[in-house]
């Protein structure tokens, strides 16, 4: 991922870019100046090729009694904290609309939950950021762009040093920049319901609980899971919107006659990705009946999550069918499958190429459905054999080697 860190303090931005490595650049930006936003975003587009995630992080804070803070200071708070976010969202929209995956993350604050004494203009600015985020998250659904806010408590940065406010003395400063960065990374791939999202979207009422949820978030977001029956097999198809540390999916099945979940297969995952991924699995050679399926998603650290159940029913076959044996050629055994639509007197016999009967595998009445039997030729010479199904007076023959 390519990043440009823009800041009004270019020297600090360059130091951070150097620390983060070759995929990061630094640039100068006064967020209150709309033309500078246009220049900066075009620069980023030219360098990175695509703008996927915009993080509006610029903010300042003046603390103390409202009347003791100068009007220029109040105005500067609004210019940076509110106009900066508004400018960034407006200028970035054209780029985000063209992106394959788009998010806007606005840094709000727990001060947007209720007004903070001694932080009046700062608290008001964060209410504005929260309101803008809520509105755009709904409005930009038509562009498939999520607009999300992060509302942390006080963070251990230079902005809160020597802050003159009773709330910081009562609550303390417990979050680190790394904590907020973790939330930003998870928020960048969040795809919850637009509007009121209890984890990352607008309208959060408990910022610290949101942080705890972010740390323990479900690693994979399953966007669809369906089952479809075809003769005596069931095909499962599912897709994920995002994946984080996904080792893969254990496919589990149960029937009304056996309530135990049994693993019938495993499909590897894609690890960590923000791209939509699709999966499929075929559960073959099933008898008639209703089957339930679920996915057991397994993280690399062993954490598991279960999907909802889906159902598929294998019905009665419509015709008498004798299928090609598998494997073919075989040594020394092979499986023979056939289906019968009604209760039938069935015989399955094996002949050599000169028409001699060498084995009788079935000679009995069988229920309607799909059947599979095993033919072991270990006591017979190598060669070509013919197997014949007789059911209610009808004959079916297939060659096998």
Active site residues: 122
**Do 386 and 397 touch, CB atoms closer than 8 A?**
yes
Q: CA-to-CA distance for 74 and 79, rounded, in angstroms?
A: 9
Q: Which two tokens stand for residue 118?
A: 């001694």
Provide the 3-class DSSP secondary structure of residue 42.
helix
Q: CA-to-CA distance for 220 and 196, rounded, in angstroms?
A: 21
209 contacts: CB under 8 Å, gap ≥ 6: none
Number of neighbours of residue 144 by Cβ within 10 angstroms: 14
397 contacts: CB under 8 Å, gap ≥ 6: 322, 386, 387, 388, 389
Q: CA-to-CA distance for 241 and 261, rounded, in angstroms?
A: 26
**Do 373 and 362 touch, CB atoms closer than 8 A?**
yes
Task: Count CA atoms closer than 13 A to 14's CA, side-chain side.
Answer: 5
Q: What is the dihedral of CA 37, 38, 42, 48, to 10 degrees?
A: 30
Q: CA-to-CA distance for 247 and 302, rounded, in angstroms?
A: 9
What are phi and psi for residue 51, nearest 5 degrees? -105, 110
Q: CA-to-CA distance for 336 and 391, rounded, in angstroms?
A: 15
Q: CA-to-CA distance for 123 and 114, rounded, in angstroms?
A: 8
Q: Is the peptide bond before 364 cis (omega within 30 degrees of 0)?
A: no
- What strand order describes the sheet that includes 53-56? 53-56, 103-107, 146-150
The dihedral through the CA atoms of 69, 74, 80, 81 has a sign that is: positive
């Amino acid at each position: 991922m390519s990043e440009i860190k823009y800041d009004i303090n270019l020297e600090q931005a360059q130091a951070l870019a150097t620390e983060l490595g070759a995929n990061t650049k630094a640039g100068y930006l006064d967020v209150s100046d709309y033309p500078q936003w246009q220049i900066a975003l075009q620069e980023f587009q030219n360098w990175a090729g695509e703008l996927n995630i915009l993080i509006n992080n610029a903010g300042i804070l003046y603390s103390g009694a409202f009347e003791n803070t100068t009007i220029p200071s109040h105005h500067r708070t609004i210019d940076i904290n509110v106009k900066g976010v508004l400018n960034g969202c407006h200028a970035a929209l054209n780029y985000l609309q063209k992106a394959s995956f788009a998010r806007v993350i606005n840094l709000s604050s727990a001060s947007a939950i209720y007004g903070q004494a001694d932080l009046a203009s700062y608290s008001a600015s964060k209410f504005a950021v929260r309101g803008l985020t809520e509105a755009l998250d709904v409005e930009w659904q038509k562009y498939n762009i999520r607009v999300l806010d992060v509302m942390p408590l006080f963070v251990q940065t230079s902005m809160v040093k020597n802050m003159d406010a009773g709330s910081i003395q009562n609550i303390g400063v417990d979050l680190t920049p790394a904590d907020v960065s973790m939330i930003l990374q998870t928020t960048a791939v969040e795809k919850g319901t637009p509007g009121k999202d209890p984890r990352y979207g607008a309208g959060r009422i408990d910022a610290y609980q949101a942080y705890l949820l972010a740390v323990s978030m479900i690693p994979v977001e399953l966007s669809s899971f369906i089952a479809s029956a075809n003769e005596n097999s069931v095909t499962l198809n599912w897709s994920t919107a995002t994946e984080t540390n996904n080792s893969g999916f254990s496919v589990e099945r149960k029937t009304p006659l056996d309530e135990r979940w049994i693993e019938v297969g495993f499909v590897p995952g894609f690890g960590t990705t923000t791209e939509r991924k699709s999966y499929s699995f075929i559960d073959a050679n099933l008898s008639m009946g209703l089957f339930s399926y679920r996915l057991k998603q397994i993280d690399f650290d062993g954490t598991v999550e279960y999907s909802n159940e889906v159902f598929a029913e294998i019905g009665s076959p419509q015709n008498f069918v004798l299928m090609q044996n598998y494997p073919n050629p075989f040594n020394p055994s092979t499986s023979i499958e056939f289906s019968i639509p009604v209760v039938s007197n069935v015989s399955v016999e094996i002949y050599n190429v000169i028409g001699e009967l060498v084995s009788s595998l079935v000679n009995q009445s069988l229920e309607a459905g799909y059947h599979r039997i095993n033919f072991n030729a270990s006591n017979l010479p190598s060669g070509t054999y013919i197997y014949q199904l007789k059911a209610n007076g009808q004959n079916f023959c297939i060659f096998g080697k």
